[in-house]
């Protein structure tokens, strides 16, 4: 397939473009600077600049673009940047696709933060959206794809969970502590973390390029309690995890982003399972072993 990817240089995007190229897809990248290679397409979501002809020959577009909310304090300005970067990118791509005869597939990044803190309730894609800051981001982010869906494009909303992988994602700040034997549960540790490994994340995205599904898809493998995730990772590295991080400290440091760490989101991959996708790492033990070996 001819696939155009936005956000191809991030943690997931880097792995995805390698996966797609390795599978024989022809990948082109949307970049926010002057293109320097034949496979690059210049665009500017903030200014609404994207040449429709650049997408006309593609079979699918995958949009992973957006400011990372976990790298800086979520001030009012940072919240606006997180929201605008997603809505501007998704909206521009959707409006552009709506003017074309093709491509007919848009895989749009989203997140399980859509549901908010829901305790022990199992959450499939039919659940209503929550009321947190991140749930509101998702609400507007996903709504921005409406022009493409209204024009007959198959739009898949990739509600990604905690992505476990070396070098980035949720584990990036945790990894040095775990390797030093200084990790521990976060808050009570009873909150559910819905996770997927990086190889399964990108394999699922590739699978959804041709799967017969539209609308929200929870990109998770399963949900486990935070204390179990931390324990299993430490066990795979033959390290203890004796030092819990109190909830008040996480709220003080992370502010609004603490809801993503302390909130309990027990998402289940109902739509993904229905497509016949089978993860390489189906349980926490196998995921932890892979992570430990990939960082050795």
User: What residues form DSSP beta bridges with 27?
Assistant: 3
- One DSSP character per residue, 107-138 reads EEEEEGGGG---TT-EE-TTSPP-SSHHHHHH
**Half-sphere exposure (CA, 13 Å, Cβ side) for 128?**
3
Indicate the pTM of the whole model.
0.94
pLDDT at position 21: 96
**16 close to 200: Cβ distance less than 8 angstroms:** no
Residue 154 reports pLDDT greater than 60: yes
Query: What is the C-alpha separation between 199 and 280, in angstroms, rounded?
Result: 8
pLDDT digits 0-9 by tens, 194-241: 999 999 999 999 999 999 999 999 999 999 999 999 999 889 888 888
pLDDT at position 89: 98
Residue 52 reports pLDDT greater than 70: yes
Structural domain of residue 136, as residue ranges?
2-294
Total domains, the chain: 1
CA distances from 13 to 69, 159, 243 (A): 16, 15, 33
CA distances from 192 to 6, 20, 99, 226 (A): 30, 31, 41, 6
Residue 295 reports pLDDT greater than 70: no
**Which of 35, 132, 31, 130 is CA-nearest to residue 89?**
31
Tell me, what CATH number does 38's domain have? 3.40.50.720
Q: 213: exposed, middle or buried (C-beta count within 10 Å: 0-12, 13-18, 19+)?
A: middle
């Amino acid at each position: 397939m001819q696939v155009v990817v936005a956000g191809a240089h991030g943690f997931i995007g880097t792995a995805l473009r390698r996966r797609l190229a390795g599978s024989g897809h022809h990948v082109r990248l949307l970049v926010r600077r002057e293109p320097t290679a034949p496979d690059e397409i210049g665009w500017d979501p903030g200014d609404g600049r994207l040449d429709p002809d650049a997408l006309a020959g593609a079979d699918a577009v995958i949009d992973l673009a957006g400011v990372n909310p976990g790298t800086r304090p979520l001030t009012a300005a940072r919240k606006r940047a997180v929201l605008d970067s997603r809505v501007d990118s998704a909206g521009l791509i959707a409006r552009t696709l709506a003017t074309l005869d093709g491509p007919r597939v848009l895989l749009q990044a989203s997140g399980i933060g859509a549901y908010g803190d829901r305790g022990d309730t199992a959450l499939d894609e039919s659940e209503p959206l929550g009321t947190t800051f991140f749930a509101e981001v998702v609400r507007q982010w996903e709504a921005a794809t409406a022009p493409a869906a209204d024009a007959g494009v198959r739009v898949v909303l990739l509600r990604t969970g905690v992505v476990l992988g070396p070098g980035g994602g949720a584990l990036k700040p945790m990894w040095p502590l775990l390797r030093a034997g200084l990790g521990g549960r976060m808050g009570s540790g009873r909150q559910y973390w819905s996770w997927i490994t990086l190889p399964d994340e990108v394999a699922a995205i590739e699978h959804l390029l041709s799967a017969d599904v539209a609308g929200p898809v929870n990109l998770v493998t399963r949900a486990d309690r935070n204390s179990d995730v931390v324990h299993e990772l430490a066990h795979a590295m033959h390290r203890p995890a004796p030092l819990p991080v109190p909830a008040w400290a996480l709220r003080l440091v992370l502010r609004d982003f603490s809801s993503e760490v302390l909130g309990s989101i027990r998402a289940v991959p109902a739509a993904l399972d229905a497509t016949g996708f089978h993860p390489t790492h189906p349980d926490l033990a196998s995921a932890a072993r892979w992570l430990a070996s990939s960082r050795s």
